[in-house]
Amino acid sequence: MFEKHSVQGYETALPGIRMKTLCYGDRMLMTEFLLARGSTLPVHSHPHEQTGHLVRGHIRLTIGPAEHDAGPGDCWSIPAGVEHGARILEDSVAIEVFSPVREDYLPERPRAGAARTSSESAK
């Protein structure tokens, strides 16, 4: 799968948090998050392993009992089932990869290698 950059396709996940799945395969999925200053990602957990990279901004990331002050270029890895959350201190952009694929983050379009109808192929 190859995807060209587009400013379209972002969805509001929570107030102040927009997201777009960038690409995905059979076992992993990459998502971009646009995080507005002052917003909060509540503490939560899920069965997916998660790695992330802060492209721009400043966030305070909680992973388990530890808090991390993250700035541009910082990375993290969160094991499956571990509680985590974040407070957004500046407008920020994060890229995160999930494994296995988060089905709830899949866009509504054919997966790589899926057969397309002739009208889809013409787009």
* Digit-coded pLDDT (tens) for 96-110: 999 999 999 998 754
- Would 23 be classed as within a structural domain? yes
**What is the CATH classification number for the domain harbouring 22?**
2.60.120.10
Largest CA distance in the chain: 52
pLDDT at residue 109, as a whole number: 53
The rounded distance, in Å, linking the Cα atoms of 122 and 54 is 37
* Digit-coded pLDDT (tens) for 50-87: 999 999 999 999 999 999 999 999 999 999 999 999 99
- Would 109 be classed as within a structural domain? yes
For residues 13 and 32, the answer to whether their CB atoms sit within 8 Å is no
- Would 51 be classed as within a structural domain? yes
Structural domain of 95: 11-121
The rounded distance, in Å, linking the Cα atoms of 101 and 98 is 6
Beta strands in the chain (DSSP E): 11-14, 17-24, 29-35, 40-44, 49-56, 59-63, 66-70, 75-78, 84-88, 92-99
- Would 2 be classed as within a structural domain? no
- Would 5 be classed as within a structural domain? no
pLDDT at residue 120, as a whole number: 38
* Digit-coded pLDDT (tens) for 20-58: 999 999 999 999 999 999 999 999 999 999 999 999 999
- Would 1 be classed as within a structural domain? no
> Strand, coil or helix: what is 77?
strand
- Would 117 be classed as within a structural domain? yes
Q: Give the number of domains in the chain.
A: 1
- Would 15 be classed as within a structural domain? yes
